[in-house]
């Protein structure tokens, strides 16, 4: 079982570290966003955002686009929370390498007994390569879901790469990736600071989606494998 962390503190540390780098002009650029033959592919369990949250995020992104139109902005269709990355995207992965029905069956045995939950999206944080909207789940349902998935998959023998890149503990939604250096980092950073504590609204997560996906969760590259409902009670 993963230890429970203070998300406010975790997000703040991410922000402080990254924003200091932004002020120095030290951004991590993604050279693969526009590469046509990017073959990185994987399998993810994710949750979608509510229309209210999506609308508020898009308004935020519109402000950033006024100053930095050359960056990669996630469209509404691609916004999500990663619940668990079962197979982190890697070059050469294909769905025919796994038995999808076994993954669905195992996940469903867990989601069917766990409660729906709410995620409040408040403020933004960052890494050197991207901007994220902070998510704060109510209760312990999301952590319970992740912990039970970890145990079940590690005992199953199914192919998985959970927690190999990092142990997922947050409920953020990535909304921007850096494709190029900002043309006016001072103004860009000022806009970011204005949204540091902005309220983006709340999403009720009553179902999760198992998908196969590219690195950026682009709609035209994502294949939905299953929709799995959580119990309707909210903790």
- Tens digits of per-residue pLDDT, 60-73? 999 999 999 999 99
Domains of the chain: 7-230 (3.90.1140.10)
- Tens digits of per-residue pLDDT, 75-89? 999 999 999 999 999
Query: What rounded mean pLDDT belongs to the chain?
Result: 94
pLDDT at residue 5, as a whole number: 84
Q: Decide if pLDDT at 16 tops 90.
A: yes
In 3D, which of 83, 70, 75 has the Cα closest to residue 34?
70
- Tens digits of per-residue pLDDT, 101-116? 999 999 999 999 999 9
Structure-block tokens of residue 50 = 């509510």
How does DSSP classify residue 3?
P
pLDDT at residue 235, as a whole number: 61
pLDDT at residue 84, as a whole number: 95
193-208: average pLDDT: 97
Q: Percentage of the chain surpassing pLDDT 90?
A: 88
pLDDT at residue 3, as a whole number: 63
194-209: average pLDDT: 97
Q: Where are the alpha helices (DSSP H) in 68-128?
A: 100-111
201: left (phi over 0), alpha (psi -120 to 50) or beta: left
What pTM was estimated for this model as a whole? 0.94
Q: Decide if pLDDT at 165 tops 70.
A: no
pLDDT at residue 159, as a whole number: 85
- The residue with greater pLDDT, 167 or 18, is 18
In 3D, which of 135, 124, 121, 134 has the Cα closest to residue 188?
124
**Mapping DSSP to helix (H, G, I), strand (E, B) and coil, where does residue 215 land?**
coil
Q: Which long-range contacts (CB under 8 A, 24 or more apart) does 101-109 make?
A: 102/156, 102/158, 103/43, 103/158, 103/210, 103/225, 104/210, 104/225, 104/226, 104/228, 106/152, 106/153, 106/156, 106/158, 107/45, 107/149, 107/208, 107/210, 107/226, 107/228, 108/226, 108/228, 109/152
145-164: average pLDDT: 87
Q: Decide if pLDDT at 163 tops 70.
A: no
143-160: average pLDDT: 91
pLDDT band at 166 (very low <50, low <70, confident <90, very high): low
**Mapping DSSP to helix (H, G, I), strand (E, B) and coil, where does residue 127 land?**
strand
Structure-block tokens of residue 218 = 């682009």
In 3D, which of 128, 149, 126, 130 has the Cα closest to residue 216?
130
C-beta of residue 161 within 8 angstroms of C-beta of residue 88: yes
In sequence order, which residues have a C-beta less than 8 Å from that of residue 79 and are 6 or more positions away? Answer: 48, 49, 53, 54, 57, 173, 175
């Amino acid at each position: 079982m993963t230890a429970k962390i203070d998300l406010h503190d975790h997000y703040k540390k991410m922000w402080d570290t990254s924003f200091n780098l932004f002020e120095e002009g030290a951004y991590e650029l993604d050279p693969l966003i526009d590469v046509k033959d990017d073959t990185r592919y994987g399998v993810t369990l994710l949750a979608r955002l509510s229309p209210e949250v999506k609308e508020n995020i898009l308004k935020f992104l519109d402000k950033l686009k006024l100053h930095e139109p050359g960056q990669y902005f996630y469209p509404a269709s691609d916004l999500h929370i990663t619940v668990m990355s079962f197979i982190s995207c890697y070059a050469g992965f294909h769905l025919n390498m796994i038995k999808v029905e076994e993954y669905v069956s195992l996940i469903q045995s867990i989601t069917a007994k766990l409660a729906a939950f709410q995620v409040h999206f408040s403020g933004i944080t960052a890494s050197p390569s991207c901007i994220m909207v902070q998510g704060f789940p109510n209760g312990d349902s999301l952590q319970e879901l992740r912990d039970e998935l970890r145990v079940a998959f590690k005992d199953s023998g199914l192919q998985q790469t959970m927690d190999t890149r990092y142990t997922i503990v947050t409920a953020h939604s990535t909304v921007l990736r850096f494709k190029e250096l900002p043309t006016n980092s001072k103004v860009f950073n000022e806009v970011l600071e204005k949204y540091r504590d902005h309220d983006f609204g709340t999403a009720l997560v009553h179902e999760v989606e198992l998908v196969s996906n590219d690195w950026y969760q682009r709609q035209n590259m994502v294949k939905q494998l299953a929709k799995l409902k959580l119990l309707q009670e909210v903790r």
